[in-house]
Structure 1
Amino acid sequence: MIDDILISAGGKGTRMKHLSKDMPKHLLDVEGRPFLHYVLNNVMQAGFENIYLVVGYRKEHMEKFAALHQYPITLIDQFGEMPGKYGTACPVMCARKYLQGKQFVSIAGDNYYSVKDLTAMRDRDDAYTYVGGLVSEHPEDWGVLVVREGDVLERIVEKPKEFVGNLTNVSLYKFTPTVFDVIDSVGISSRGEYEITDAISTLAKRGNVRVKKLEDSWIDFGRPEDIQRMENFLRSAKFPLR
């Protein structure tokens, strides 16, 4: 079993528009609690012992949140560790000193994952990297996982203009220590950021990446309308997959 999990929560959350102007979107209220509460609750229920939360934008709010609720987490300041650098690879780079030589799970702090799916990824204590995948009716809006026989990841195609598949990336990963062998070679993408999917693509070329399909609920908490969707889910305990 894997004991370590990395939660990326340093972004500004521009898709939330004015709602995230003064605080991280991860702390927006949902049914009387910050969204991040539900993420951490499931992480702890899944049995992770070492929780690393990467913060950045308005980090003082995250620090107050962690202190108030006394969550057993270690805060990592992305902007302090890597000033002027952005992208999904940065949290992993920042956490190197904590996770070097370990297997660990990595998730997006603005996504809700079920205890079932978090536990399933925690159980992947083997030599492979894993990417969580979910079938989408609109794969063109996401990164598409191109998979060959045996659930082996061939490549990731970001927001494809032509259909290449409908199994999409949900930013739920299990990494082995090999991620630190390749992540420093990740260059700046066309968006001007360092992308974790570029590191995964390098590992995929070696045949070392597998895809694990989600079996339970997943919610992207990125836009204002997602607040209501999350509230509806909590009230009904049911939520349609992507």
Structure 2
Amino acid sequence: MKSWRKAIVGTDATVSEAIAAIESGSIQVALVLDASSRLVGIVTDGDIRRGLLRGMQLSGLATEVMNRSAVSAPATLSREERLHLMRQKSIKQLPLLDGNGQLIGVETFDELIEAPHYPNPVLIMAGGLGERLGALTRERPKPMLNVGGRPLLETIIRNVVQQGFRNIFISVNYRAEMIVEHFGDGSAVGAAIQYVHEAERLGTAGALGLLPQRPELPVVVTNGDILTTINYGALLDFHNGTAAQATMAVREHKVHVPYGVVTASDGYLETIREKPTESWYVSAGIYVVGPTVFDHVERGVRIDMPSVLERVVANKGRVAVYPIREYWLDIGRMEDFEQAHAEFNEVFP
């Protein structure tokens, strides 16, 4: 049984402390206990992200976002009974209680079965020119630039494979032969790689229309120039837990205005905000798209992912939003490339 004690927080814990407990623990949740060690609720990564979208502050109480109806079980249950209960309830963590209702352990679904494996396809968009990086991409595609001693695309693929995804498609266009020659069929990195060749560049979503057949499962889609420690499995689980046809990963972007910001009406001053920090959620270039989304992509026609998602919404579909707290860097400019080199060994040991 995995160590779970680092995941414990009290009823007075903040959301920030719950995040720290999730990250330092080994069971992917925070356990909220009262003074008598009785389970009050569970806080998941999804609970926190939904709370942040509602405007919840990190200084707020974790009890405001926790699940108060979390499933638990007597510690006397057999392995088979625990596994059956977890499958029945579609849960990955099962708190175990003694006869007095006190928490004495946590069973995890991953421990009860073999290592996680996701049959869902992953599509990596690697056909762009990377023109903003100038001479660096004159002879090679941006995803093949070395960061930390290996191609950026290799880091993305290794992360995906380590998280249980094996079925990988790579969309290629510019200098496609370099990518195909380096990765081949993917067996060297534990994957099964197929290539989607764009005869002409089709935007950030056009490659969806070139997949050999319409997927039956949701597809994880990521741009090929992103360094991130996102948990793709958690993203997929989040998507599957919604009624959405697609999910967009987003990142909070903050801008500090070094001046007093003035609002006026009819030529008269209303307010002055001194050096405010504005923030927005921006697309992180990572998505989950369900099978019905493919209805909005024509084969061989250029289209970007925002346009596809707008079509989904226009047709009364839903697109969920998944805030990223993990490390994330879009390598679009020279300064981003330099930052990736400086941080790589610390983020990807």
**Aligned-residue offset at 1:94:** 1.4
Q: Which string of whole-angstrom CA distances, capped at 9 and with x for unpartnered residues, describes residues 158-214 of structure 1?
A: xxxxxx961100111111111111223998xxxxx5212111012123141110111
- The residue aligned with 1:63 is 180
C-alpha change, 1:77 and 1:182, in structure 2 (3 Å) is closer
Counterpart amino acid of residue 222 in structure 2: I
Pairing 1:220–2:348 present: no
- The residue aligned with 2:307 is 198
Partner SS state of residue 254, structure 2: coil
1:234 and 1:99 map into 2 onto residues whose CA distance is: 36
Q: Which string of whole-angstrom CA distances, capped at 9 and with x for unpartnered residues, describes residues 59-102 of structure 1?
A: 110011103972324232433xxx3353112121112x244332
1:194 and 1:92 map into 2 onto residues whose CA distance is: 10
- The residue aligned with 2:234 is 120
C-alpha change, 1:186 and 1:197, in structure 2 (3 Å) is farther
Counterpart amino acid of residue 337 in structure 2: I
Count of residue correspondences: 204
Aligned partner (choices 217, 221, 230) of residue 340 of structure 2: 230
C-alpha change, 1:200 and 1:25, in structure 2 (3 Å) is same
2:193 and 2:299 map into 1 onto residues whose CA distance is: 27
Contact kept? 2:133, 2:333, Cα under 8 Å: yes
**Aligned-residue offset at 1:138:** 4.7
Consecutive unaligned residues of structure 1, counting only runs of 5 or more, are 140-163, 188-192
Q: TM-score, normalised by structure 2?
A: 0.53
**Aligned-residue offset at 1:36:** 1.1
Partner SS state of residue 240, structure 2: coil
Aligned partner (choices 63, 69, 92) of residue 208 of structure 2: 92
Structure having greater relative contact order (Cα 8 Å, sep ≥ 6):
1
**Which runs of 4 or more aligned residues in structure 1 lie more than 3 Å from their structure 2 counterparts after TM superposition?**
none
Aligned residues with identical type, % of pairs: 25
- The residue aligned with 2:73 is none
- Is the radius of gyration larger for structure 1 or structure 2? 2
Contact kept? 1:55, 1:75, Cα under 8 Å: no
Counterpart amino acid of residue 234 in structure 2: A
Partner SS state of residue 136, structure 1: strand
- The residue aligned with 2:195 is 76
Contact kept? 1:19, 1:224, Cα under 8 Å: no
